[in-house]
Amino acid sequence: MQKSTLLFLLVLLSAAAYHLGRRRSLQIAGGTVRNLHSLPSYYGYFAALWCGFPALLVLFLWIAFENSIVIQLVLSSLPKELTSASADRLGLLINDIRNIASGAVTGEPDPAIKAAAKHYLSLKETSNRLLSLLAISIAITGAAYARQRISQEFRARNQVEKSVTIFLIGCSTLAIFTTIGIVLSVLFESIRFFKEVPITEFLFGLNWSPQMAIRQDQVGSSGAFGAVPLFLGTLLISAIAMVVAVPIGLLSAIYLSEYAGPKFRAAAKPLLEILAGIPTVVYGFFAALVVAPFVRDLGVRFGLDVSSESALAAGLVMGIMIIPFVSSLSDDFINAVPQSLRDGAYALGATQSETIRQVIIPAALPGIVGGVLLAISRAIGETMIVVMAAGLTANLTVNPLAAVTTVTTQIVTLLVGDQEFDSPKTLAAFALGLVLFLVTLALNVIALHVVRKYREQYE
Amino acid sequence: MKARERMPEASFNREYSQTVGEITSPNSRIVCRNVNVYYGDKHAIQDVSLDIGRNEVIALIGPSGCGKSTFIRCLNRMNDTIPGCRVTGKILLDGQDIYDGSLDVVPLRAQVGMVFQKPNPFPKSIFENVAYGPRIHGLVSSKAELEEVVETSLRRAGLWDEIKDYLHQPGTSLSGGQQQRLCIARAIAVNPEVILMDEPCSALDPIATAKIEQLIDELRSHYTIAIVTHSMQQAARVSQRTAYFHLGRLIEVGETAQIFTNPRHQLTEDYITGRFG
Amino acid sequence: MNEICEVSGQSSGRTIDVVHASLIRRRRAEKRFRLYGLVSIVLGLCFVAILFASIIARGYTAFQQTSIGLDVYFDPELIDPEGRRDPVTLMEGDYDRLLKNTLSSMFPDVKARQEKGALYRLLSSAASYDLRDQVLANPELIGKIVRVWVPADDDIDMFVKGQLPRTGAEGERRIKDLQVAWIDKLEAEGRIEKSFNTAFFTSGDSREPELAGIWGAVMGSLFTLLVTLSLSLPIGMAAAIYLEEFAPRNRWTDFIEVNINNLAAVPSIVFGLLGLAVFINFFGLPRSSPLVGGLVLSLMTLPVIIIAGRSALKAVPPSVREAALGVGASSMQTVFHHVLPLAVPGMMTGAIIGMARALGESAPLLMIGMVAFIVDIPRGVLEPATVLPVQIYLWADSPERAFVERTSAAIIVLLVFLIFMNGLAVYIRKRFERRW
């Protein structure tokens, strides 16, 4: 039986169990709902849960482990000389077996492999049959157990609600598992990386050229993994972005919330927020195609030597992307400043701009600082713009007209394309990912803390 | 003196729309005639005419929502900050129409200061709070002069002795009563001529209230003060004249003693005797 | 102004004089500050305008494709030598030769080998497939001379659309003088036509710009978003309900909350690393598949949906809950019968915005191999696929001039989808907006 068919069947069985449970409860109650502890439908849900949930759990566990077990069984049946090969060869072998099993054959395969493929197929068949049998019997047993438990005093509603609560709790903890998953996935690979490249060299080295030579005797065969040029490049581009985004974002938020009439505000605000909804790949294209040539031509006109992948162009476009982020956060914080403070300043005879600059901004400052920190974290983590518009070579410079590369750009270039997964080159991407995650995490935690404290102040 | 003509002879008047009592003041500083205020469609103040005299404390009393706060906010155009608010009629400060299109609100508010219901110190130090007004208006030319102004203002507000050692603590760290006196000090540091107070004691305990009332009495010699209050005792204690507002109208105005002992309008009497309020 | 000065000056002390003295300066500062704000907004709006203008100006031409009309003699010798109209034979006919013969007969002067090559390159390399499909669909054509419209090569397409120069040093031009003359001749004979570019919307990716289309990427995006939606919506709503309605206020829930807020700000590429390490390397799910893409994107959109869901639930006034609890409903019944229905529009708005963001996301998908060059149109969540933004990235990297136009056109399509989704979210919010 196909797994999708099995899934469908289990759903049908659960629906049947629902009706069974409902009918049974009504039967026990003699047709009068008042005699029951819970509404009949809760008895139905109870039965359906017992029928469907354990069977589905078995199904998913089976799917998760089926493949590796089957492969192990197939390999153990193969002759020794085939399986004693290295891990890479073994992977190829398994691939071959799978390909033959699925019918995609090129050329005449080794008879041993052919036999293995046959074995593989038959094992899969058996596994499927076993699974169907197991799942359906579990489902039926579950339904029968639930039916047997139904009685007049049985608190079906409490039981059902408890399971729903468990489901809700499970869903809400997913965020924690995601964080753990992120930490573990970057940490493990990073540790493997730091075994090959010392952490001090990675963090403080000034030379980054991850291209490993194919042959050992080639020049520069070891590759260099000093990430300082990447950090500096990231900071440079982020700084340019902030120089663009913070004043424009803040001033437009001030204008919109303090000066603009309701009509202008209603028109300009959503237009400005369009910038927040544009995918980053579009910004990247815009940076590479429009802004970078423009910046270069402008530089040429002033007799400056501007790289066609200048940090300035990438930073400028990143700044544009962040404007709405800064402006909507600042807008929130400015609006959170109580009217009484404005009144206090106006009543002293302060002009509007004096009130804004000397009372409202200082009052909103913690929030704005938090917002700017979040914006910096976003700039550091931004990928597509720099991948498309910043350079690939690691230059140790703070000249905005030169080409620099960033952490995210390097992660992408190191991991895109076909690579063996164990080389220091790919592992370096995870080490960079770890640094990126830790830095943005620190920025976010500080920013969220500052913002939270700020909100509490005026609540 | 058109308003005068509409006034009936000084007798018992139950006519709802007309103000009972002497609306004019012999030494008038602010003159209001037929002031109407609308919030969108809502007619919040209807045809109020009232004078406020030099160096007097006038108390505005009345049940909640009767428009007394709205009325004093008109006197330094604080209502400008409320969207959809419209004011008609004439309000003259020393003969100058404050709703004249060419008038700048900045000098007006420097002349007519205001203290609010809830103390609203700026999130700055105590010193900076008081120094803010003189600074923006350029009233002082040196640091020493500024320090002097701050000290005088805090002294006048009766706060100096309590906080002179904490001048650089944030203003928000003070207690409610101290904050309110800080706000008063902030207002008088600009050296205004009129001070408007919108229920300045409503958020304070009785001891702090007593201090503020004493302060108001002392300030009277320098300033003209209009105070909105919910407490009739307070009105009786601090004011020379009292005006009673009801549902956006000015019902009765007169000497404070007379209003509280011998109100001439039925509504005033009902309010004073606590039949509603 | 003077009058006021005098009037107030007479009546009062020196405060007012000092105030008036500095007033002009302060009013000027006021105006200046106001101007800064206005300039910032105008700058921001200018960026929006420039962005859209530059993309639309570059992209709109891609919705048209140049084709060349040829009077092709469907020579039975070349495509059906046995005359049996057998589809297998017809499949293998030399349609390329048909086109070359036609072109040679139209331009008999072209003799040199190199020039002939240039002549044949007027047509797209896919032109012969077009002929084949026509013959297969209608074998009656064999032996006849018929006017057939076949797609022009991308450079010719660009030239006809006026995006490649006619004049200037010949060595630096993509289109040489000879080709210009041919095109002029064809144009004079009415054999060059621009028509709606259906291939762009119906085909998958290709190395040839004139054949490349977005349909494969659109389907990839669709499958990816389906996976994302079916995972993140129920899980996100459940988490929001638990955290807002049932969770006790303690360290544990605080920790969950911090995690969610933090995940919302983690760079998207880090989610890509997670997907690569966990879903592909650990669980062995197929690379480049919409399933993995959808999993990664649902982890990314979950925080958005949870945060939006919680604020939607928060907006439901407590009186509703008290009323339901008051008639004896359990807290679960209260939430699912009374609170949730009122919060659903808000949650939907959040979900749509989350989906719109997922649709535009590309960085994490690069990590899990959705950047492969994939010609086939995916038919399921396990087949290799790419998505619209990644397709844009791939095309933006291609050197051919004609891909610039197509990239911009793909961006226009993507933006249309996004505008539609955001518009829908705004509509739902406005339609169901309720104030208590």
Q: List pLDDT tens digits, range A394-412.
A: 888 888 888 899 999 999 9
Number of other residues whose CB lies within 10 A of the CB of residue A92: 11
With CB atoms and an 8 Å threshold, state whether C270 touches A356: no
All domains in chain B, ordered by first residue:
18-122+191-272 (3.40.50.300)
To which residue do tokens 């919108």 refer? B198
Q: Å from C318 to nearest chain A CA?
A: 19
With CB atoms and an 8 Å threshold, state whether A437 touches C281: no
User: For B161-206, what is each residue's pLDDT tens digit?
Assistant: 989 899 999 888 899 889 999 999 999 899 898 999 999 988 888 8
Nearest CB neighbour to B106, from listed C11, C18, C23 = C23
CATH number for domain C215-432, candidates 1.10.3720.10, 3.40.50.300, 3.30.479.10, 3.40.50.150: 1.10.3720.10
Tell whether the model's pLDDT for residue C11 goes beyond 50.
no
Higher pLDDT among residues C380 and C356, named by residue: C356
Most confident segment among A413-417, B10-14, C97-101: C97-101
With CB atoms and an 8 Å threshold, state whether C19 touches B193: no
DSSP category for residue B48: E
Amino acid B6: pLDDT: 42
User: For A292-337, what is each residue's pLDDT tens digit?
Assistant: 999 999 999 998 888 888 999 999 999 999 999 999 999 988 988 8
C-alpha of B134 from chain center: 21
CB-based contacts of B262: which residues, under 8 Å, 6+ apart?
none
Q: Å from C50 to nearest chain A CA?
A: 10
Q: Kindly identify which residue of chain B lies nearest to residue C17, measuring between CA atoms.
A: B107
Q: Two tokens at A12?
A: 């049908």
Residues from chain C that touch A274, judged by Cβ atoms under 8 A, are 48
Tell whether the model's pLDDT for residue B7 goes beyond 60.
no
Helices A3-28 and A111-149: crossing angle in degrees, nearest 10, is 10
Asked if the C-beta of B137 comes within 8 angstroms of chain A's C-beta atoms, the answer is yes
Asked if the C-beta of C142 comes within 8 angstroms of chain A's C-beta atoms, the answer is no
Residue A459: pLDDT band by 50, 70, 90 thresholds? low
Q: Kindly identify which residue of chain A lies nearest to residue B105, measuring between CA atoms.
A: A349
Burial of B266 (0-12, 13-18, 19+ CB in 10 A): middle
Asked if the C-beta of B96 comes within 8 angstroms of chain C's C-beta atoms, the answer is yes
The full length of chain A comes to 459
Asked if the C-beta of B183 comes within 8 angstroms of chain A's C-beta atoms, the answer is yes
Q: Å from C39 to nearest chain B CA?
A: 24
Amino acid B154: pLDDT: 92
- Once rounded to an integer, what is the mean pLDDT over residues C145-164? 86
Amino acid A377: pLDDT: 94
Q: Å from A347 to nearest chain B CA?
A: 6
Asked if the C-beta of C22 comes within 8 angstroms of chain A's C-beta atoms, the answer is no
Share above pLDDT 70 across residues of chain C, in percent, rounded to a whole number: 96
Residue C212: which of C410, C415, C378, C416 has the closest Cα?
C410
Amino acid at B270: D
Q: Are strands B241-246 and B249-255 parallel, antiparallel or unpaired?
A: antiparallel
Mutate one of B76, B92, B96 to test the C interface: name it (highest C CB count within 10 A). B96
Q: Å from B160 to nearest chain A CA?
A: 20
Nearest CB neighbour to A175, from listed C58, C260, C359 = C260
What are phi and psi for residue C151, nearest 5 degrees? -65, 140
Share above pLDDT 90 across residues of chain A, in percent, rounded to a whole number: 45
- The mean predicted confidence, pLDDT, of chain A is 86
Asked if the C-beta of B138 comes within 8 angstroms of chain A's C-beta atoms, the answer is no
Q: Å from C96 to nearest chain A CA?
A: 29
Amino acid A360: pLDDT: 92
Amino acid B16: pLDDT: 43
Q: Å from A338 to nearest chain B CA?
A: 9
Amino acid C435: pLDDT: 64
Mutate one of B191, B222, B224 to test the C interface: name it (highest C CB count within 10 A). B191
Nearest CB neighbour to B186, from listed A338, A348, A363 = A348
Say how far apart CA A350 and CA C328 lie, in whole Å: 57
C-alpha of B132 from chain center: 21
User: For C12-30, what is each residue's pLDDT tens digit?
Assistant: 456 778 888 888 899 999 9
Tell whether the model's pLDDT for residue B8 goes beyond 50.
no
Mutate one of A174, A356, A419, A448 to test the C interface: name it (highest C CB count within 10 A). A174
What is the longest distance spanned by two Cα atoms in chain B? 59
Mutate one of A337, A348, A457 to test the B interface: name it (highest B CB count within 10 A). A348
Mean pLDDT is lowest, of A257-261, B15-19, C151-155, C409-413, for: B15-19
Q: Å from C126 to nearest chain A CA?
A: 28
The string of DSSP letters for B130-199 reads: HHHHHHHHT--SSHHHHHHHHHHHHHHTT-HHHHTT-TTSBGGGS-HHHHHHHHHHHHHTT--SEEEEES
Nearest CB neighbour to B81, from listed A342, A349, A359 = A342
- The mean predicted confidence, pLDDT, of chain B is 86
Amino acid A420: pLDDT: 58
User: For C287-305, what is each residue's pLDDT tens digit?
Assistant: 889 999 999 999 999 999 9
CB-based contacts of A219: which residues, under 8 Å, 6+ apart?
A213
Residues from chain A that touch B120, judged by Cβ atoms under 8 A, are 338, 340-341, 343-344
Asked if the C-beta of B120 comes within 8 angstroms of chain C's C-beta atoms, the answer is no
DSSP category for residue A105: -
- Once rounded to an integer, what is the mean pLDDT over residues B224-248? 91
What are phi and psi for residue B227, nearest 5 degrees? -125, 130
User: For B250-262, what is each residue's pLDDT tens digit?
Assistant: 999 999 999 999 8
With CB atoms and an 8 Å threshold, state whether B111 touches C16: yes
Q: Å from B120 to nearest chain A CA?
A: 6
| Beta-carbon contacts below 8 Å between A and B | 69
Nearest CB neighbour to A248, from listed C44, C246, C266 = C44
With CB atoms and an 8 Å threshold, state whether C29 touches A353: yes
Amino acid C45: pLDDT: 94
- Once rounded to an integer, what is the mean pLDDT over residues C397-402? 84
Tell whether the model's pLDDT for residue A23 goes beyond 50.
yes
Amino acid B182: pLDDT: 93
Number of other residues whose CB lies within 10 A of the CB of residue C426: 14
Asked if the C-beta of B149 comes within 8 angstroms of chain A's C-beta atoms, the answer is no
Nearest CB neighbour to C19, from listed B94, B103, B110 = B110
Residue C244: pLDDT band by 50, 70, 90 thresholds? very high
Say how far apart CA B4 and CA C122 lie, in whole Å: 98
User: For C40-55, what is each residue's pLDDT tens digit?
Assistant: 999 999 999 999 999 9
Task: Please report which residue ranges of B7-124 form alpha helices under DSSP H.
Answer: 68-74, 105-111
Tell whether the model's pLDDT for residue A378 goes beyond 90.
yes
Q: Å from B41 to nearest chain C CA?
A: 21
Amino acid B1: pLDDT: 37
User: For A173-190, what is each residue's pLDDT tens digit?
Assistant: 998 999 999 999 899 889
Query: Integer distance in angstroms from the first to the last C-alpha of chain B?
Result: 32
Amino acid B14: pLDDT: 39
Tell whether the model's pLDDT for residue B12 goes beyond 60.
no
- Once rounded to an integer, what is the mean pLDDT over residues A437-450? 92
Say how far apart CA C386 and CA C121 lie, in whole Å: 30
Element (H, E) at A124: helix A111-149
Tell whether the model's pLDDT for residue C95 goes beyond 90.
no
Residues from chain C that touch B137, judged by Cβ atoms under 8 A, are 15, 18-19, 22
Asked if the C-beta of B113 comes within 8 angstroms of chain A's C-beta atoms, the answer is yes
| Beta-carbon contacts below 8 Å between B and C | 51
Asked if the C-beta of C355 comes within 8 angstroms of chain A's C-beta atoms, the answer is no
Nearest CB neighbour to C269, from listed A67, A282, A381 = A381
User: For B74-117, what is each residue's pLDDT tens digit?
Assistant: 998 988 888 888 999 999 998 889 998 888 888 899 889 999 98
Say how far apart CA C89 and CA C410 lie, in whole Å: 38
Q: Kindly identify which residue of chain B lies nearest to residue C18, measuring between CA atoms.
A: B139
- Domains of chain A, by residue range, sit at 3-154, 224-457
With CB atoms and an 8 Å threshold, state whether B138 touches C4: no
Asked if the C-beta of B110 comes within 8 angstroms of chain A's C-beta atoms, the answer is yes
Amino acid A111: pLDDT: 76
- CATH number for the region A224-457 comes to 1.10.3720.10
CB C205 within 8 A of CB C216: yes
